[in-house]
Structure 1
Amino acid sequence: MAGKIDAKLKELGIDLKEPAAPVANYVGYVISGNLVFVSGQVTLEDGQLKYLGKVGADLSVEDGQKAARLCAINIVAQLKAACGGDLDRVKRIVRLGGFVNSTPDFTQQPEVVNGASDLMVEVFGDAGRHCRAAVSAGALPRNVAVEVDCIAEIG
């Protein structure tokens, strides 16, 4: 039987894929005690990178929000793997770190990273409310627009 979070994902029309395998010498997540540290997730969908370029030049704030949302979906996929398939084990999203590939004069990083923050609250409810950082990056891997990492508490 699907759990509460799986049912919420279905209601939102989100179909989680297998989490992306690391492309270098790191792992997708590490569990330490009751915390899961999820490596930075990028805008990978169906094996293809989406939302490439700089927000504020190549992409709009709205595109950046969609990119951040996609990163958050990829975080949820990593959390599902970390929880042995049971997302109901996620007790709290503790922190998100959002990195926005943006022009030097762009200052709306918080609005962009809201795409990830909003997704976490949509999926996990109050347990999805978190602290976070939303910062500019001069460049991100493979020219993706956004990268987001996460710390979550599990039970």
Structure 2
Amino acid sequence: LGQDFTVEQGQAAAKLCALNMIAQVKEACEGDLSRVKSVVKVEAFVNATPEFTDHPKVINGCSDLLVSVFGGDVGRHSRFAVGCSSLPLGVAVEPGAVFELAD
């Protein structure tokens, strides 16, 4: 970000990552997303130039989708977004998440 990607492209990448997270959680819940009790936290790395400072705006692409899909009570989460000088394969973002599931 700040060189090869715009904030908007970073947000789109973060949103795509959130869609992949949801797909993995759905698989873990045997297709029943109502078993998600809480999106506990999102931890995100942003591939950025030293001058780039909009890391939180980029990760909003992920966070906003999780809140939209799971609602405010379940989807609202803590998070951090940090910049780094590179990520594997040159990707724009690398978020991870912790979900609490019901039995």
TM-score by length of structure 2 reads 0.95
Q: Determine which structure has more spread, i.e. the larger CA radius of gyration.
A: 1
Match of 1:73 among 19, 25, 31: 19
How much has 1:138 moved relative to structure 2?
Answer: 1.1
RMSD of equivalent CA atoms = 0.7
Work out which structure has the larger RCO, using CA pairs closer than 8 Å and 6 or more positions apart in sequence: 2
Aligned pair partner of 2:9 in 59, 63, 69: 63
> 2:80 aligns to what?
133
TM-score by length of 1: 0.64
- The yes-or-no answer on 1:150 pairing with 2:92 is no
User: What is the CA–CA distance in structure 1 between the aligned matches of 2:20 and 2:11, rounded to whole Å?
Assistant: 14
- Output one character per residue of 1:56-106: Cα deviation in whole Å (capped at 9) or x when no partner: 101110111111000111110110111111111001100001111011110
Which stretches in structure 2 are left out of the alignment for 5+ residues? Answer: none
Equivalent pairs, count: 101
Higher helix share: 2
State the identity %: 54
- Structure 1: runs of 5 or more not aligned: 1-54
